[in-house]
Amino acid sequence: MPVINVEDMTDLDKAKMEVTQLKTEVKLERAKVSKCCEEITEYIQSGADEDPLVKGIPEEKNPFKEKGGCVIC
């Protein structure tokens, strides 16, 4: 898709471009935020048992655990 420099366009071209965008947006299916939030909350809570950020990583499976302590002499 070519890059369009809006500063070089006439006011009529800008208005046509805006109308085209608005026609595209009006066709989008909309959902209520409250319903979407409920669905997202249910999805997150359904996977919380397997989520390592919530449950934590067992020490034996943690690839980032420190191999040894730091000793200052």
- Domain containing residue 34: CATH number: 4.10.260.10
Instruction: Look up the pTM and report it.
Output: 0.45
6 belongs to a structural domain: no
- Alpha-carbon span 67 to 72, nearest angstrom: 16
Domain limits for position 20 = 11-55
At position 21, the amino acid (one-letter code) is Q
21 belongs to a structural domain: yes
16 belongs to a structural domain: yes
Tell me the residue length of the chain: 73
61 belongs to a structural domain: no
pLDDT of residue 1: 66
Query: Roughly how many angstroms between the first and final C-alpha of the chain, as a whole number?
Result: 62
10-residue averages of pLDDT along the chain (73 residues): 82 94 95 95 91 84 78 73
Total domains, the chain = 1
